[in-house]
Structure 1
Amino acid sequence: MKGKPEQAFDRDRSSHRFLWNYGAPVPRIVAEGKGYFAVQDAGASLTKVCADKSVTSTEKLRACRAAGQALARLHAMDLTHGRPAFRDMCWDGRQMRFIDFEYFTPTKAGRLRKARDLGIAILSSLAQGGMGLYYAYSVLSAYVAPRGRKPKALPVPYPVPVRNSHPRIR
């Protein structure tokens, strides 16, 4: 479905190696050969972390902040992931690492590609269910924090009455 699988695999492996050598947050390659490569354990995908009922909300939000920081770090290197969905971000309880680079391009990234990356990460966080808005806020606030902006606290959700400016018709 994505073209020739051998070429896609070689592109993923070479992209991973490129990013590792560049100092990007990716797991180290521990073994490789013709048709395979293995990376160190980078933890569970952010999708699994956010769905795991045994993980506290505080830890889930901490992982999402780490995702925003890792994405900001990658963008500060003038690189983009290409499709940083929650399933392509791994959390081991200490650090966030990216995997799956089928859409990675090893060229200087402009604002549009960085915005696309951030948009995909935010949409992926919103797709995580009831806490999605909080995950999105954590990713975004951590992403902008290195730029010197201090994030405001997200208010606790509660029903807000909606006022209709039109009078009732009786």
Structure 2
Amino acid sequence: MTNKATDVHLAVRNALRAPYQRVALCQTPQGNRFWLKRIERFAPHLWLVKGKPEQAFDRDRSSHRFLWNYGAPVPRIVAEGKGYFAVQDAGASLTKVCADKSVTRTEKLRACRAAGQALARLHAMDLTHGRPAFRDMCWDGRQIRFIDFEYFTPTKAGRLRKARDLCIATLSSLAQGGMGLYYAYSVLSAYVAARGRKPKALPVPYPVAVRNSHPRIR
């Protein structure tokens, strides 16, 4: 076992000994970051609503492994064992990126375009994510990678499932605040372009303040 792999397993062991967290950010002494995911714990009566947590966990892990082996844009699994698995850090979720005031508007739109391209790439493989909300797409400044696959189905996807993916991504982008419309446009236009079609341009690239003598209605 290499030193790098040893460091990861030691960090996993320390995280498993710490107070329970379903998802925990871990780091090796060399600064390599990864996320440890464990079986969710909740009251038994919630099984009627959410199903058995062990089944959801196994579905997420097996789907992640399937997508990685298929060449889909997902972070690599760096360690796994009974009741847990760990994946490399893929950056901040698009939800956090869009809410971060220190991130420029240009960078946010670039991340959204990358999300549209990544979704198109996944659909070109005849696969769908199942719930590609902004919180399930991570941006590291270079690429988008998907996480959380409890709704993934490892079968050939048709138009309906692909359309559902696209609708969820669009609605999630619209929910990101005042720039939501432009996030949605960036996702959709990049998706359409990646699928070999020419997107229509919006008449105005960003919201523009209009000056007049009348009081503004809020």
User: What TM-score, normalized to structure 2?
Assistant: 0.71
Alpha-carbon offset, residue 100 of structure 1: 0.3
In 1, the alpha carbon distance for the partners of 2:91 and 2:201 equals 28
- In structure 2, do the counterparts of structure 1 residues 165 and 77 end up closer, same or farther at CA, with 3 Å as the change threshold? farther
Q: Does 1:16 align with 2:64?
A: yes
Where 1:104 maps in the other structure, the secondary structure is coil
Moved more, 12-21 or 140-149: 140-149
Q: Kindly provide the CA deviation profile for residues 88-144 of structure 1, in whole angstroms up to 9, marking residues without a partner as x.
A: 000000000000001000000000000000000000000000000000000000001
Q: Name the counterpart of 1:79.
A: 127
8 Å contact kept, 2:122–2:128: yes
Give 1:158 deviation, angstroms. 9.1
| Aligned Cα root-mean-square deviation (Å) | 4.6
Mapped to 2, the partners of 1:47 and 1:166 lie a distance apart of 36
Sort the Cα spacing of 1:158 and 1:64 in 2 relative to 1 into closer, same or farther, 3 A: closer
Q: Name the stretch that deviates more: 111-120 or 148-157.
A: 148-157
Equivalenced residues, count: 170
> In structure 2, what is the Cα distance between the partners aligned to 1:27 and 1:48?
18
Contact 2:182–2:206 at 8 Å: present in 1 too?
no
* Cα shift at 1:146: 2.0
Cα separation, partners in 2 of 1:90 and 1:166, compared to 1, 3 Å: closer
Instruction: Give 1:169 shift.
Output: 24
Instruction: Give the whole-Å Cα distance in 2 for the aligned partners of 1:87 and 1:169.
Output: 33
**Secondary structure of 1:31 counterpart:** strand
Segment of structure 1 superposing worse, 154-163 or 101-110: 154-163
> Counterpart of 1:100 in 2: which secondary structure?
coil
Q: In structure 2, do the counterparts of structure 1 residues 167 and 31 end up closer, same or farther at CA, with 3 Å as the change threshold?
A: closer
Identical-pair percentage: 96
Q: Offset of 1:64 from its aligned partner?
A: 0.2
| SS of structure 2 residue aligned to 1:39 | strand
Cα pair distance change 1:137/1:169, threshold 3 Å: closer
Describe the SS at the equivalent of 2:202.
coil
Is the 8 Å Cα contact of residues 74 and 145 (structure 2) preserved in structure 1? yes
Aligned match for 1:59, one of 104, 107, 130? 107
| Equivalent residues of 2:137, 2:144 under 8 A apart | yes
Cα distance change, pair 110–54 in 1 and its aligned pair in 2 (3 A): same
Q: TM-score, normalised by structure 1?
A: 0.91
Shift of 1:2: 1.4
CA drift of 1:154 comes to 1.9
Deviation at 1:168, TM superposition (A): 23
Q: How far apart are 1:30 and its partner, in Å?
A: 0.5
- Which protein, 1 or 2, shows the higher relative CO under an 8 Å CA cutoff with sep ≥ 6? 1
Deviations 1:16-71 (A, max 9, x none): 00000000000000011111111001000000000000000000000000000000
- 1:147 shift after superposition: 2.8
Change in 2 beyond 3 A, CA 1:132/1:168: closer
1:82–1:168 Cα change, 3 Å: closer
Q: Tell me: CA distance 1:63–1:160, structure 2 relative to 1, closer, same or farther (3 Å).
A: closer
Alpha carbons of 1:154 and 1:8: their partners in 2 closer, same or farther (altered >3 Å)? same
